[in-house]
Chains A and B, each alone.
Chain A
Amino acid sequence: MKVQYSYLKIFLPTALSQAKLADVFTKVGFECELDGPIIDFDVTPNRGDALSLRGLKREFQAHQSKKLKDTLSYKKLKFKKDKTVINKIDKTGCGNYHLMTITGLSSIKNLDSKKRNFLSAAGVPLISPLVDLGNYVMFEIGAPMHVFDLDLLDLPINVLFNFNNEPFQIIGGDLKNLEDSSLTIQDQKGVQAVAGIIGGEKTSVSKNTTSIAVEAAFFHPDKIVNQARKYGLATDASHRFERGVDPAIQKKALERFLFLLDDIAEYDAVKCIEGNSQALKTKFVSLSIERFNNFSGLMLTAKMISSLLQNLGFDLKSTNKKNLSFEVPSHRFDISLEEDLYEEILRCYGYDNIPINPPKRGPIRSKNKISITSALKTGLVFGGFKELMHMPFVSEENFMKLNSHSRKPAELLNPINENEPMMRNSLFEGLFSAINLNVKKGYSSLKVFESGNVFHSRGKNFIQHEHISGIVYNHEPQKSWDSKVIPYDFYSFKAEIYKLLLTLGVDNLQLEPNSNIKAFNFNSMNILSGKKVIGALGEIDLAVTHKLIKNTAFGFELYPEEISYNSKVIELKPISKFPSSTRDINILINKSHTYMDVQKILTNGSINFLNNFALVNTFEGKGIPDGLISMTLSFIFQSADKSLKDSEINDSMNQVLRTLKKSFKVEIRS
């Protein structure tokens, strides 16, 4: 709410400078921004009562340890019930409804320049003296008012939820289709205002108006909230009614209106009518002094507490040594619990005056474990990867590209960019764009990764998984200044990821050919921990990137939630004191068999004394028949309890040869 400092200063009154005054209000919970001669008050949604000069004054006085005194002048009025003026009222939406009719208006003048400047500063357009006066009283006291042209109303008035769906022309001329949930002010011809939001064009005040009906009412906040939004409106009235207008001030507002009207117009007669109003429910909240002091860490007495609350309009109803009971003032919609009173007391006492305790420590829980995600991230960073972050919104096309057809997306109803309504189910899309952007900027070699959640829907549920995905983009072997070529191929990439996972101690780590990740081409592998897939790696399928990546790139995708590592207690094996022996063989094997096939057979072949084996060389081409590949394998034999004899090693090698021949019909070359 924007208020002119010069006007507020007189209203409060105060001698404080603009900055000091803003500071006072900020400290009691109304954050202020200074904008030239204006103070802009940030009034939180629970404090509708402060959206007026009177409300601000109450807060200011309480801060000065004083109670609000009403120094305004009013013209006393008597209200009567009259069914010919106000007939039916839907009490579920309208708590009270008052009309003040004024006839024979003449010599209407503008409001004085101070009030006009005050309204302009508050952002309220000046329309006509009578409407401006209503707006002024709303800003002064806090009760929104509406001024109808009485001659254009076909009385009596009913306050009902809308039942006919004719378009309604609001002030300014726009047509709105009213919704059934909207409370409306209707005369005998139909809807003339949307309660608490805006009046109609037909019955609005004009230059020719000589009689008016001034409405002051209380509409229940829950019936007003979100209504204005439905019509694309946000009015000063709706802002206040949504947050709660004091239901006890409507008559006062009309009395104040009439008092001020005397300054700007002459008139013949005034009549005041009230509809059937609901009795106001009085709320009481009690407070235990001991509990409050425990809660705050303070040692306030009953007297101090009462005085702080009384300054805000709370009435002390009963008291004993331990408890205080207060009547909540009608303007405070936000108070219903003991803790609400704590806030009021502490706010006035000053948060800065509450003593500070040293930080408390929580209990040790077994779940306080190191996160696999941060371990993986650290590993990647030391491997030269840069971490990137992207927005998770993707287009339908991109979602389809990176997911199988049966995958259903999580889709936004109100996306910020209508071309990107889907939540990502893969982190690769963002990484593809990142590679593209940075290659365009001149980077020729990139290692990037992202860590984040991906989403899809399954039936009525939504599934979220954590992924860490990365790309190595090295479009040609790197050359150093001495022309040393450092090639980076699938196997270099595989080594990086494999090494990372081994270093972390992932249980029973295995790689198996062919993942079904759509970002990869056929050169891809699933990464498993035992039988559980914990990720995949492969060569990026350039077609999937839609020209975002134009040269060879490798990618990985890891699922931290699936990874368990270092979970087993390590069983140490005795270290052999006896020497090991190495033997190499060279075999020719059909290319339809993979190295993994060879590996599996030898691992499961229970070869005596075999400690380890490795592939040292492959060769195909010249001298090797088509369809075959030559592999050189190196075997290390060792025993835990003796030096091996040549004959024992020879026996083991024969076992190796027999196993390989039997399984793959290999030809032994040496």
Chain B
Amino acid sequence: MQIPQDLIDTAKFKLKSVQSEAEFFQLRSQYLGKKSYVISAFASLKSLDPIEKVLAAKELNILKGKLTTIFEEALEVIQHIDDASSLDVTLPADPYLVGAEHPISKVAERVMSYFSALNYQVFSGNEIETDYFNFEALNFPENHPARQMHDTFYIKSKSKSEYLLRTHTSNSQIHSMLREPLPLYMLSPGRVYRCDSDTTHLPMFTQIEGLVVDEDITFGDLKGIIINFLEYFFDEKMEVRFRPSYFPFTEPSAEVDIKFGDNGWLEILGCGMVHPNVLANCNIDTKKYRGFAFGMGIERLAMLRYGVQDIREFYSSNLDFLNQFTS
């Protein structure tokens, strides 16, 4: 019996141009249907002699098997194509809401991530504080004009101590120096309060202060970490200027300016070497230990980073504003 050898090749070739299941089944019946060559050939085996019949049957079975496999595989591909193309994948996803951290949180985390890598511990502290921890211990003597630099909110209290809303997070540094072992590398992030409100001032804002107390700390250490931090924060080489200033709790004190855009020098943070009176108030041996401290307003950094004009936007809970930030 003569079995055509190109049957498989032609079947493969024709399957390539099949577009739908209907076309597929039509083609399959040509090759494997009742009237197909293979099936009708089985019928014609009867007329052969026994030896030839066995050989031909074996060959036909192999051929039928190969064809069946080819068509099964092709069917899978065709059905798969049909399934996938039945969806318009460009239709919208089910309803969803996109979350985001607040820009102030994001900026605060960016600041903290730099210092965490240097093993700075984080102590947040109390927002309602006594006069002693907010001022006295920080070398703001009573009746000193420096206190006028801070417009303070006071709290009604039955206690002898005067309670207030902290005007900076430095209170947390005093508590930490009294409590924690030295050397101390710490950050005090948190909310602080001043009775003030306009487009660049809020009665509450966010501060991150840092403090290091260790042996052999120098002013050069302070300069180094501040410059390095600013370059990390703004992601570029920065022109940084340190100029003398005054804070009761540091001596010497400095304001740090950066060149930002076309605005010339821009004040970005305050810092200095911890005042020996402050260390002494925390029972720290000033002969052995020195320290530096720095502090920055997060809203101000966020305004610079995102180009926000009105500081009040941050606390407006206006989603038109907040939706522009993603985490």
Chain A contact residues, CB within 8 Å of chain B? 26-29, 31, 44-47, 221-222, 225-226, 229, 242-243, 294-297, 337, 339-340, 342-343, 346-347, 351-352, 354-365, 367-368, 371, 374, 377-378, 380-393, 410-416, 423, 430, 433-434, 437-438, 441, 443, 445-448, 451-453, 455, 457, 459-462, 464, 478-482, 484, 486
Contact = CB atoms under 8 A, between A and B. Distances in A.
19 contacts: A29-B243, A31-B255, A45-B149, A297-B219, A342-B252, A347-B252, A358-B228, A360-B185, A361-B185, A362-B118, A381-B101, A386-B322, A387-B102, A388-B102, A389-B317, A391-B203, A411-B156, A445-B97, A462-B128
Contacts of A31: 243, 245, 255
B146 A416 contact: no
Contacts of A46: 146, 246
Contacts of A451: 105
A295 B146 contact: no
Contacts of B252: 339, 342-343, 346-347, 351
Query: Which among A357, A460, A482 has the greatest number of chain B C-beta atoms within 10 A?
Result: A357
B243 A356 contact: no
Given A294-B216, A380-B99, A391-B315, 6 more contacts: A29-B243, A31-B245, A31-B255, A337-B251, A368-B116, A381-B101
Contacts of B195: 414, 416
B144 to A, nearest CB: 7
A18 B200 CA distance: 28
A339 B220 contact: no
Interface stretch (B8-16, B58-66, B119-127): B119-127
A374 B155 contact: no
B291 to A, nearest CB: 11
B177 interface: no
B128 A460 contact: no
Contacts of B116: 368
A352 B145 CA distance: 28
Query: Which among B100, B101, B327 has the greatest number of chain A C-beta atoms within 10 A?
Result: B101
Contacts of A390: 315, 317
B92 to A, nearest CB: 6
Given A416-B197, A478-B95, A242 B145 contact: yes
B33 interface: no
Given A356-B224, A365-B119, A416-B195, A438 B317 contact: yes
B109 interface: yes
Contacts of B317: 388-390, 430, 433-434, 437-438, 448
Interface in B112-165: 116, 118-122, 126-128, 143-146, 148-149, 153-159, 163, 165
B242 interface: yes
Contact of A222 (B143, B318, B319): B143
Contacts of B158: 459-460
A460 B290 CA distance: 36
Interface of B: 91-92, 94-102, 104-105, 109, 116, 118-122, 126-128, 143-146, 148-149, 153-159, 163, 165, 183-185, 191, 195, 197, 202-204, 212, 214, 216-221, 223-225, 227-229, 241-246, 251-255, 273, 275-277, 290, 314-315, 317-320, 322-323, 327
Contact of A371 (B97, B102, B122, B154): B122
A486 B218 CA distance: 62
A475 B204 CA distance: 33
A438 B224 contact: no
Given A296-B220, A446-B97, A389 B104 contact: yes
B118 A360 contact: yes
Nearest to B194: A416
A412 B165 CA distance: 9
Contacts of B148: 45, 226, 229
Contacts of B246: 29, 44-47
A363 B218 contact: no
A384 B96 CA distance: 8
Contact of A389 (B119, B183, B212, B314): B314
Nearest to A45: B145
